[in-house]
Chain A
Amino acid sequence: MRIPILKLHNYLLISIQIDLDDQTAIQFQEDLLNKIHQSGATGVVIDLTSVDIIDSFIAKVLGDVVTMSDLMGAKVVLTGIQPAVAVTLIDLGIHLNEVTTALDLEQGLIKLRQELEE
């Protein structure tokens, strides 16, 4: 399964709407980095509104892809993390401190624009 990555001006938009298995998550990581490389995007929003579970593996993949994108020069914002997912992440001891987040897609785009000072 592949997660679609949409391009909007200088940004890439991703909405994850499936229950992520490990393989799909790894594939997404690779696809996103390639897409950043091809498109020259400077900002990425990954919307997690429809994701109802993030375990330690998926959290690691997401955290890593943020750092990897940053290395390439693209800023990533995670949006729409559900209350139940936030609670379980903290129970797991995962804080994603270095990751920029926003309430929803709209706020995420605003945050990106601020951070990139466009």
Chain B
Amino acid sequence: MDFRTCVNIQKEWDIVGARQFGRDFSKKLGFGIVDQARIATAISELARNIYLYAGSGKICFDEVENVGSRGICIIAIDTGPGIKDISQVMEDGYSTSGGLGAGLPGVKRLMDEFDISSKTGEGTEIRVVKWVR
């Protein structure tokens, strides 16, 4: 799949840049204010994970369509250390960085679809989709 736009995540400020881009993009696709906030928050969590755990990576955005409904597809890609135990990071409250441990399980609840694949030593790819209601 060819993604329309990607935002590189290298410095802390890129987290803000990515979520602002995602908010504007979701607004253009016709999402309401609450869903725009959900999408921007999810992007913020994904971007922070890249910055904190992988150092750098990117977040890509595209419009998706499925039997008459429109949505936003976001992929967060990094070539960091990868996640050893995915079920552990999907638990509420699990954190290795002193955070709230709300990140990934939170992203799953904020979005409609959530897929994660990760290989130790190679990196992580998280794909999320939200449909316009």
Contact = CB atoms under 8 A, between A and B. Distances in A.
Given A21-B12, A21-B15, A55-B44, A94 B33 contact: no
A22 B23 CA distance: 18
A87 interface: yes
Interface residues on B, range: 20 to 34
16 contacts: A20-B16, A21-B13, A22-B12, A22-B48, A53-B37, A53-B40, A55-B44, A56-B103, A59-B100, A60-B100, A84-B34, A84-B37, A85-B37, A88-B110, A92-B102, A92-B110
Interface in A50-99: 52-57, 59-60, 82-85, 87-88, 91-94
A22 to B, nearest CB: 5
Chain B binding surface, main DSSP class = helix
Contacts of B44: 53, 55, 57
Given A21-B12, A21-B16, A94 B38 contact: no
Contacts of A94: 100, 102, 106
Interface of B: 12-13, 15-16, 19-20, 23, 33-34, 36-38, 40-41, 44-45, 48, 92, 99-100, 102-103, 105-106, 109-110
